[in-house]
């Protein structure tokens, strides 16, 4: 598996690049009732003390198995879930403290592309209205809607004549291009791509990733690219954050993490990736599935699945250890 080339990696590590988004100890917990007569309240710690930053014109890949909390994290940043605690600074503004009206205005700068291209599009709206809706709402429409729609379709590699069609008339890949056209129409600073290519065929995935890379260069975009698939993330992300049960367990440049994964969970994800011409072998020896949030293990959350688990791992949760551009949350490095 190859990671995104070094040109992009050095761009991400450029200290001159300003932080666009900074997340500090973000927690998003939900309450659930369980047990006899549903009297016992339990906290589902979907996001449990997450910190990271994204620089201007950088892509951070957020990777982890289904149910690790990565989608809840994205939804919290978008204001679709309420944070329990923590701080988020976006464009020098405290995102979690904004009023509803201020957050609405901020949406111009913070866009999203969801996994399911069809359900993300209003079936009763044609392409003209879909891709120019935001421009009208934010008073950014200069010229006719048709003109803007044609330009936006051309930007995402689609035939300009398609502006009068409706979502059901397109393939999955074309629908996702329309979603991307809508997202870039407002010239945002950051786009959260939540499993944005997961529903597409592999060949279409590659085309959409190339489109995202081209648009990033053209419009100086940053992405938070959320995916369960590390091989997809490695093709687009400058840096990677690996998430397990609500926490980030490893970060680093994509090339470093792929070449030398530190956390046993990251090693497991890499070992499970298919290799062309070879039978898939999970050489890490890590087994099992992500436990339920309500059954969070004591100590290190990964210890029931970790072959290298020690006594301390079952007693004490590891702190995050940082060195240069890497971080890892594991007692092996204490
Ligand atoms: Fe494995 Fe222990 Fe590291 Fe957790 S802290 S990943 S159990 S070695």
Tell me the residue range of the domain where 172 lies: 119-185
Identify which of 117, 269, 268, 84 has the alpha carbon closest to the alpha carbon of residue 193. 117
Give a yes or no: residue 153 inside a domain. Answer: yes
The mean pLDDT value for 233-261 works out to 97
Distance CA 189, CA 77 (A): 14
Give a yes or no: residue 164 inside a domain. Answer: yes
Q: Cβ–Cβ contacts within 10 Å for residue 77, how many? A: 24
pLDDT, tens digit, 9 for 90 and up, residues 67-118:
899 999 999 999 999 999 999 999 999 999 999 999 999 999 999 999 987 8
Give a yes or no: residue 144 inside a domain. Answer: yes
Residue 244 Cβ inside 6 Å of ligand 1? The answer reads: no
Residue 242 Cβ inside 6 Å of ligand 1? The answer reads: no
Do 212 and 232 form a contact (C-beta atoms < 8 A)? no
Give a yes or no: residue 249 inside a domain. Answer: no
The mean pLDDT value for 28-43 works out to 71
Atom of ligand 1 nearest to the CA of 308: 8
Distance CA 288, CA 242 (A): 18
Do 270 and 230 form a contact (C-beta atoms < 8 A)? yes
Atom of ligand 1 nearest to the CA of 263: 6
Q: Where are the beta strands (DSSP E) in 143-268?
A: 190-194, 222-227, 239-244, 247-253
The mean pLDDT value for 44-69 works out to 95
Give a yes or no: residue 138 inside a domain. Answer: yes
Is the pTM above the cut of 0.85? yes
What is the whole-number distance in angstroms between the Cα of residue 306 and the centre of ligand 1?
A: 6
pLDDT for position 7: 47
pLDDT for position 18: 85
Give a yes or no: residue 125 inside a domain. Answer: yes
* pLDDT > 50? residue 53: yes
Give a yes or no: residue 133 inside a domain. Answer: yes
Atom of ligand 1 nearest to the CA of 264: 6
Token duo for residue 14? 């450029």
Distance CA 91, CA 204 (A): 33
Distance CA 147, CA 163 (A): 10
Do 215 and 184 form a contact (C-beta atoms < 8 A)? yes
**Residue 193 vs residues 116, 122, 170, 229, 237: alpha-carbon distances, Å:** 11, 19, 20, 13, 12
**Residue 19 vs residues 27, 67, 88: alpha-carbon distances, Å:** 21, 28, 12
Count up the domains in the chain and report the number: 1
């Amino acid at each position: 598996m190859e990671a995104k080339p070094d040109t992009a990696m050095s761009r991400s590590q450029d200290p001159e690049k300003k932080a666009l988004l900074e997340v500090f100890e973000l927690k998003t917990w939900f309450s659930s009732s369980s047990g006899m007569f549903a009297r016992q309240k339990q906290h589902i710690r979907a996001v449990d003390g997450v910190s990271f930053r994204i620089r201007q014109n950088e892509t951070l890949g957020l990777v982890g198995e289904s149910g690790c909390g990565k989608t809840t994290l994205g939804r919290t940043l978008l204001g679709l879930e309420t944070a329990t605690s923590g701080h988020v600074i976006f464009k020098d503004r405290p995102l979690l403290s904004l009023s509803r009206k201020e957050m609405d205005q901020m949406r111009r700068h913070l866009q999203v592309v969801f996994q399911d291209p069809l359900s993300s599009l209003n079936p009763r709206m044609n392409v003209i209205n879909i891709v120019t809706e935001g421009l009208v709402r934010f008073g950014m429409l200069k010229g006719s809607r048709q003109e803007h729609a044609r330009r936006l379709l051309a930007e995402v590699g689609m035939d300009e004549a398609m502006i009068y069609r409706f979502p059901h008339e397109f393939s999955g890949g074309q629908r996702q291009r329309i979603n991307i056209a809508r997202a870039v129409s407002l010239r945002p600073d950051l786009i959260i791509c939540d499993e944005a290519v997961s529903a597409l065929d592999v060949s279409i995935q590659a085309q959409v990733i190339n489109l995202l890379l081209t648009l990033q260069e053209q419009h100086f975009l940053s992405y938070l690219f959320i995916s369960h698939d590390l091989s997809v993330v490695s093709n687009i992300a400058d840096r990677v954050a690996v998430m397990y049960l609500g926490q980030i367990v490893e970060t680093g440049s994509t090339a470093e993490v792929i070449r030398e994964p530190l956390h046993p969970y990251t090693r497991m994800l890499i070992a499970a990736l298919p290799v062309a011409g070879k039978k898939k072998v999970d050489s890490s020896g890590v087994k099992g599935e992500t436990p339920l949030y309500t059954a969070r293990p004591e100590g290190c959350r990964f210890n029931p699945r970790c072959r290298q688990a020690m006594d301390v791992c079952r007693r004490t949760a590891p702190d995050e250890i940082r060195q240069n551009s890497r971080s890892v949350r594991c007692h092996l490095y204490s």
